[in-house]
Structure 1
Amino acid sequence: MSQEIELQGEIAPHQLGQRLDQALAELFPDYSRSRIKEWILADRVTLDGQLVNKPREKVFAGQQVLLSAVLEDEVHFVAQDIPLDIVYEDDDILVINKPADLVVHPGAGNPDGTVLNALLHHYPPIAEVPRAGIVHRLDKDTTGLMVVAKTVPAQTHLVTALQARDITREYEAIAIGTLTAGGMVDAAIGRHSTHRTQMAVKELGKPAVTHYRVAEKFRSHTRLRLRLETGRTHQIRVHMAHLSHPLVGDQLYGGRARLPKNATPELVTMLRGFKRQALHAAMLELAHPITGELMQWHAPIPDDMVSLTEVLREDTKQNPVEEY
């Protein structure tokens, strides 16, 4: 069984000169570049009303895109009885609080045991929605709130809201080093040129903006609250590493344990044993995709980050003068 949906968008100024398949992959991030290329070759894309079937075609700012997509049910993914911490659910959406060590979508190395497999078990009709309703992701070891669409109309509205930056996502994080004040990182992100599993700040990457403020200072770490304007892969982790303040526990981006002088034994143990990035999606706010009602959810800080915070406070009390 398949279904047709229409995706609409406008080529942004920064996309001037991009290949068509590249530009559409950025406009419609729920779909892979290879799938978009197939749709282009199948005469399913128009620019300003004109059929375009060459993936390498260069695009211009302001062009109106219409993509008539054919989607197959996600029948190759299996339903699995994996517990979900459901914060909210109605006929159109559900909001979950994702734990650490849970992948959102099957992929290389994780063929099942994911949020998607759990969603198929929890609500079987979601198989009719692309990607089982998943409209944004959290990294495997990032905890916190995710919204999922239970119907195609709800998903279409949520994707549009994400692209328009109308969904507010606020995160809690603990970074290495002391930041004196909040700020904004406006630095494009792209695939790392040599380490293909990593992202990096790149001049020709996709625009990425992160706002952050200091929530609490310790003598050698900082607790932060961050808001995303964009949702690039690993965005907060890359941007904080770019500021030379990687997140505690982030093995991929330089957050390996750094022990301050005279650290308490508890802090030494905590930092050496903290094996995931200290990042939690704490607040989610959006207009309901069908009713338009403004809704907001909060997820409590997970126990491991609460414990880390308490140990950092105690270490700071015992070492009131900064030492490195």
Structure 2
Amino acid sequence: MTTQSIALRHIFDEKVYGKRLDAALSQQFSDYSRSRIQEWIQNGFVKVNGEVITSNKYKMAGFEDIEINAEIEVAGEWKPEAIDLDIVYEDDALLVINKPAGLVVHPGAGNQDGTMVNALLHHCPELANLPRAGIIHRIDKETTGLLVVAKTIAAHTNLVEQLQNRAFTREYDAVVNRVMVSGGTIDKPIGRHPTKRTSMAVVPDGKRAITHYRVVEKFLDHTHLKLRLETGRTHQIRVHMAYLKFPLVGDPLYSGRYRVPTRITPILRETLDSFKRQALHASLLGLNHPESGEYIEWRAPLPQDMSSLLEQLRENRDTFEAEE
């Protein structure tokens, strides 16, 4: 097994009072699973105020200084594969990738090959020495757009810290069902759906999730939005928009039963019927370069399927407005 040393530290505030140690740590260090953090605690890798604590049930009092010094398994036995990558930027410290729809980011059950990790290991074999092959954040399989990959341990540590401190700029384009009057902010906690194991939901005991959104263009029964993430929870935009009753076009998990608009051309109806993924694209990514400290932004144009969808929505709007 290939391992890599990892060091994490955080001083908590009073809000963790009464929480279990493993729960507080998994919420703060969300890049690591709760089961991994529990294992670290049990193995004596976690210090609370300088004292090793080996019980996951340890109750937090607030203002604890937590140190974690552990070993983590790195890229594992995943095989390099010659899969094309749309590389937007690359230097000695990082890569920025424009991910297509349908590409799984990280291997998992049922997806051991054909993933972005397999492609990255072919492009840059040294990523095998980094946690998750250097991938800092994920986007869903059917979501397109930008994500960053670290190429060194130092860059990985820096970028993970930026992500945890909400220093990344992440902007998305989305097309949602129904007409949204204006933009706003949704601040609602997200956690595992109480009955649907593959879904997330707004739940009282979830992790805090903040999404800012603004209207770009309105159509007869749809809206083009720009959204910025302040946090990065699983399915965050999809869950928040569904919670507001403006689910993403084509979302297989959260769009609910599709309601056919009354004013719709045959070609738009065909376009909507054939749009089988969530209409979501990570169009802008900004961060401080881990070596120079310079703030850099990258943009990725809309993929063809979303561009075509917007064109059909405009034509549909113009057709019916001309008749009025």
Q: Which category describes the TM-score, using the shorter chain as reference length?
A: over 0.9
Distance 1:14 1:322, change over 3 A: farther
What amino acid is the match of 1:277? Q
Corresponding residue of 1:120: 121
Contact kept in structure 2, 1:11 and 1:59, CA below 8 Å: no
CA distance in 1 between partners of 2:70 and 2:322 (Å): 61
Q: Which moved more, 1:35-44 or 1:170-179?
A: 35-44
Q: Which runs of 5+ in 1 are unaligned?
A: none
Q: How many residues align?
A: 323
Q: Residue in 1 aligned with 2:89?
A: 88
- For the Cα contact (< 8 Å) 1:249–1:256, is it kept in 2? no
| In structure 2, C-alpha distance between the alignment counterparts of 1:232 and 1:14, rounded to whole Å | 20
Unmatched 5+ stretches in structure 2:
none
Q: Secondary structure at the match of 2:149?
A: strand
Deviation digits for residues 105-163 of structure 1, max 9, x if unmatched? 11122122111111111101111111101110000000000001011111111111111
Q: Deviations over 1:237-258 (max 9, x none)?
A: 0000000000000010025543
CA separation in 2, counterparts of 1:282 and 1:43?
42
Q: 1:43 to 1:125 in 2, by over 3 A?
A: same
The aligned amino acid for 2:175 is I
Question: 1:196 aligns to what?
Answer: 197
Q: Which residue of 1 aligns with 2:136?
A: 135
The SS at the match of 2:54 is: coil
Mapped partners of 2:81, 2:157: distance in 1: 26
Query: Which residue in 2 is equivalent to 1:183?
Result: 184
Cα shift readout 1:197-229 (whole Å, capped 9, x = no counterpart):
100001110000000000000010000000000
| Cα distance, 1:16 vs structure 2 | 3.1
| Counterpart for residue 273 of structure 1 | 274
Is the CA contact 2:101–2:143 (under 8 Å) kept in the aligned structure 1? Answer: yes
Instruction: Work out the CA distance in 2 between the residues paired with 1:45 and 1:33.
Output: 14
TM (norm. structure 2) is 0.96
TM-score by length of 1: 0.96
Q: 1:132 to 1:223 in 2, by over 3 A?
A: same
CA deviation string 1:74-124 (max 9, x = no partner):
232111111110000000100000000011111122122111111111101
> Partner of 2:299 in structure 1?
298
Paired residue type of 2:254: Y
Structure 1 residues 40-85: Cα deviation after superposition (integer angstroms, max 9, x where no partner): 1110001121211111212233322110010233232111111110
The answer on whether the counterparts of 2:220 and 2:263 sit within 8 Å (CA) in structure 1 is: no
Aligned partners of 2:95 and 2:148 also within 8 Å: yes
Contact 1:133 1:149 in 2 (8 A): yes
| 1:1-45 superposed Cα distances (whole Å, 9 cap, x missing partner) | 433221112335544322212221222222222111111111000
Q: Distance in 1 between matches of 2:62 and 2:221?
A: 45
Larger mean CA deviation between 104-113 and 277-286 belongs to 104-113
Matches of 1:61 and 1:176, distance apart in 2:
43
Q: Does 1:75 align with 2:45?
A: no
- Paired residue type of 1:34: S
User: What per-residue deviation string (whole Å, max 9, x for no partner) do you get for residues 172-199 of structure 1?
Assistant: 0000000110000000000001001100
Structure 1 residue 322: deviation in Å? 12
Q: Equivalent residue of 1:319, what SS? A: helix
2:313 equivalent in structure 1: 312
Structure 2 CA distance for partners of 1:112 and 1:16, relative to 1, 3 Å: farther
Tell me what 1:22 maps to. Answer: 23
Higher mean C-alpha deviation, range 12-21 or range 265-274: 12-21
Seen in structure 2, the aligned counterparts of structure 1 residues 220 and 321 have a Cα distance that, compared at 3 Å, is farther
Identity over the aligned pairs, expressed in percent? 55
**Separation in 2, partners of 1:101, 1:164:** 30
Amino acid at match of 1:159: V
Match of 1:218 in 2: 219
Aligned equivalents of 1:276 and 1:159: distance in 2?
29
Look up the SS of the partner of 1:119 in the other structure. helix
Partner SS, residue 309 of structure 1: helix
Please state whether the residue corresponding to 2:160 is helix, strand or coil: helix
Q: Contact 2:173 / 2:280 at 8 angstroms: preserved in 1?
A: yes
